[in-house]
Amino acid sequence: MRYLSKISLILLALVTFLALSRPLYATAANYKGEGKVKLKTSLFKSPEGDAHLVLHYQNNPHWHTYWKNPGDSGLPIKFKFSVDGQDLVLPPLEWPKPSRFIEQGDIWAFGQEGEYAIFFPLSESTQKALTNKTIDIHSSWLVCKDICIPGEQKFSATLQANPLKLNSSQLSTTSHSKFSEIFANLPTEQSFPRELDLTLALSKSKEGLTLFYSHPVKRGEKISSSNNFLTPFPILPFDFQHEKLFLDKKGNLYGKMEIDWDGEYQEPEVPLPANGKFKKPYTLKFLYQPPGMEQAQVISKTFSQFDLNTSEQMTSFFSLVRPVPPPKAKSKTALPADDPNGHENLSNQAEENSSNSTSSLLFYLLLAFIGGFILNFMPCVLPVISLKLFSLINSRDKSKRTILKHNLFYTLGILSSFLILAIVIATLKSSGVSVGWGMQLQSPHFNIVMIIILFIFALNLFSLFEFNTPGGSKLGSISTGEGGLADFFNGVLATVLSTPCSAPFLGTALTFALLAPAHIIILVFLAIGFGLAAPFILTAFFPALITFLPKPGLWMEHLKRFLGLSILLTIVWLFNILSNQVDDRFLIPLLLMTLLFIFFSLYMQKQLKSSPLFKTIMAIVPIPMLIYLTIFIKSTSLVSDVTPSPTVTSAQNSEGLTWIPWSPAKMEELQKSGTPTFIDFTAKWCFTCKVNEKLVIHTDDFTQLAKKYQLKLLLADWTKRDPIIGDWLLAHGYAGVPAYFVINNQGKIIPLGETISISEIEEALK
């Protein structure tokens, strides 16, 4: 029976990491000068004599901003005009053709590098209306190289007539001929080409769509490696993935592009029609750059339905044609894929910046190590850490070899867990999924697995049963034998329990990692693991330090029971999270019944010591419930792990303060009006968030502060996955929650970090 229990617990550990695989920016002070985007304005007349207001951008070498469709990550350039406080609508011409950047991890981005401009036509009536008026111009962007830095610029310009002239402190000195060159190369709208065959079909997985296309290629024509053949414009609910191209023996070009259907995240929900007919037609728009053509064209095609059977046929066809080698990232600076000097530029840059990059990486690794060390003192992991300390105390009289072995197995459990977590996050990131710290707790499936594992662990702490490893160690026991499996699993459990917590220095290191290539993510996560394991690595090599710990005694057994109680409280907390994530009312009672069967099974096994057969029967009792629970979860749609931004109405808390659901539109509205606002990014699974709420937000001092400054309070709840919240946090330098911001009366957003105080909030509001 010991081996049956062992196998069950190992399987539960594996399921935990499977659950972790479900979907989960850097401190940029050293890069701000290098990543600065210069923005100027100008007045341009086309060869036809039409006037245009120009926004002229200039990036530093190898830094890129994003096009309308940014690709797998990023945010497009935004611009806004106003006159006398009223919005001014100036529709732009097509933006310049973007380059395709292939970043480490196979992340595709579409955007602009170097010098580029966006043109806004000024009709005669618009010119008359704007003459001698002050035009307020506001543009914001995200500029990326090794990291991404949000930027913005505000300035004004005045239009003068007779002759038509633009006056501004940010007037561009770029020549008319340069603007003429940029203008001449803008994509132009064309009728749909006859030679292009475009088919929209249900994907092979039946959960999305696939776009298939074909186009003849003439002899001598080359396929661009820095641009897509078809670059899609953004349109909801279509989420276009990477383009894949193929050639047949005759040189004809074939392509396919998978499309994720995001209709389920819209409000109201737009399901993918089972009959293949859309409720309304969708016009898909593309930048079209056929082989041999330098200038891109804008084409579009309207679809009212999609084919239900083509994917199966096309899968067989594509196995017969030759794939065009996919573009690869040439550097972490994401040079365009066909830059002939890409390797040379990278080597030159490496000579200039190698020392800075190395020192920067070492700095963030140090922050990660310190943050991991501080996690040892967070309530999330304290029960597991305490048990490991008990093991150390009890081992003070054992050999150095035994102490070294137990501590190294514990360290190995931590490092293995962080390595798997890093690989999962890097994989999700490379596939375009928004990732963050603690995001596995947004999954109801993961929380169910954690509740079961922690319940078994708590029963172990109450000595209801003992988990014996082959070497004789007992999981959760004060005494240890020669085996290391229990120590390894304790290390795994410490890692899993640490993820709802944030710690000083940890957030900065994580935001750096989540915007870096895969190998940097792994290094940072391993540094966190080494920090978490540091006290035990130290005592492994210097066992004399154990003598500074209290002597073993009965107090350890009493404290172990208290730690078991703390685990049960953690389970109650997880039930609270789960109840806010699922809609099915039957799940919670079913899960409670499963836990009851597990308790009954273990209790009866402990009481009936004389009957091996009856103990075997008791061990089997919870298995049908576990199977039924698994089948129920598989067959029932609990709730989508990904939800749109909250649409709930405003609510008052116990202090009488009204909290408004956060949304980018609402925040922009308050920012524009200069309304003092406090923004709380939180989640029910975030332990640090709850501490901040208890010590700061849910206090009389905060209530008085809110009333004194007439604060608007915005609440962004990230308990469930919400890509809008996740992307906004990343764009503002945060890998997860908690995160707090203030909008002052000048409309400026001021970040407050992960920990807050009343004085800090008030200082930001002044």
- pLDDT tens-digit profile of 17-42? 334 433 333 444 445 556 689 999 99
Q: Pairing state of beta strands 148-160 and 86-88?
A: unpaired
Mean pLDDT of the 105-114 span: 87
CA distance 53 to 42: 6
Residue of 253 and 377 predicted with greater confidence: 253
pTM (2 d.p.): 0.44
> DSSP label at 325?
P
Q: What pLDDT is recorded for position 343? A: 33
Instruction: Report helix, strand or coil for 484.
Output: coil
Mean pLDDT of the region 508-537: 80
How does residue 563 score in pLDDT terms, banded at 50, 70 and 90?
confident
CA nearest neighbour of 52 among 154, 123, 116: 123
Does residue 622 or residue 115 have the better pLDDT? 115
**Residue 721 reports pLDDT greater than 50:** yes
SS3 category, 80: strand
Tell me the domains of the chain and their CATH numbers: 2-24+360-583 (no CATH), 38-186 (2.60.40.1250), 197-323 (2.60.40), 651-765 (3.40.30.10)
Confidence of residue 336 (pLDDT cuts 50, 70, 90): very low
Amino acid of residue 594: T
Residue-level pLDDT at 516: 66
Name the residue type at position 658: T
| Region 107-124 average pLDDT | 93
Would you state the pLDDT for residue 587? 82
The mean pLDDT of the chain is 78
Task: State how far the Cα of 742 lies from the Cα of 549, in Å rounded to an integer.
Answer: 45
- Residue 6 clears pLDDT 60, i.e. is over it: no
How many angstroms separate the Cα of 597 from the Cα of each of 67, 455, 575?
56, 12, 17
Q: Which of 576-580, 590-594, 620-624, 649-653 has the highest mean pLDDT?
A: 590-594
Task: Give the pLDDT mean for 519-536.
Answer: 87
Cβ proximity of 201 and 310 under 8 Å: yes
Q: How far apart are CA 747 and CA 549, in angstroms?
A: 53
Query: Alpha helix (H) ranges present in 47-175?
Result: 124-130
pLDDT at 553: 64
Q: Which of 16-25, 97-106, 504-513 has the lowest mean pLDDT?
A: 16-25
Tell me the two tokens of residue 93.
Answer: 């011409």
Could you identify the residue written with the tokens 């764009």? 731
The 3-class secondary structure across 652-702, one letter per residue, is ECCCCCEEEECCHHHHHHHHHHCCCEEEEEECCCCHHHHHHHHHHHCCHHH
Q: Report, as an integer, the average pLDDT of 463-470.
A: 57
Q: Report the relative pairing of strands 322-323 and 658-661 from DSSP bridges.
A: unpaired
Q: Is 70 exceeded by the pLDDT of residue 651?
A: no
> Is the confidence at residue 430, as pLDDT, over 80?
no
CB burial readout 480-510, b (16+ within 10 A) else e: bbebbbbbbbbbbbbbbbbbbbbbebbbbbb
Determine the pLDDT at residue 309: 76
* Cα 448 from Cα 641, distance rounded (Å): 13
Least confident of 100-114, 222-236, 647-661: 647-661
Question: Hunting for tokens 């109680």 — which residue is that?
Answer: 565
**Rounded Cα distance, 53 and 51, in Å:** 7
Predicted confidence (pLDDT) at residue 724 exceeds the cutoff of 80: no
- Range of weakest confidence among 28-32, 80-84, 377-381: 28-32
| pLDDT band at residue 535 using 50, 70 and 90 as cut-offs | confident
Instruction: Write the CB contacts of 665 (distance below 8 Å, at least 6 apart in sequence).
Output: none
Tokens representing residue 557 in the block: 């057994």
**Pure H helices in 395-517:** 400-430, 444-461, 485-498, 506-514
Higher pLDDT, 65 or 573: 65
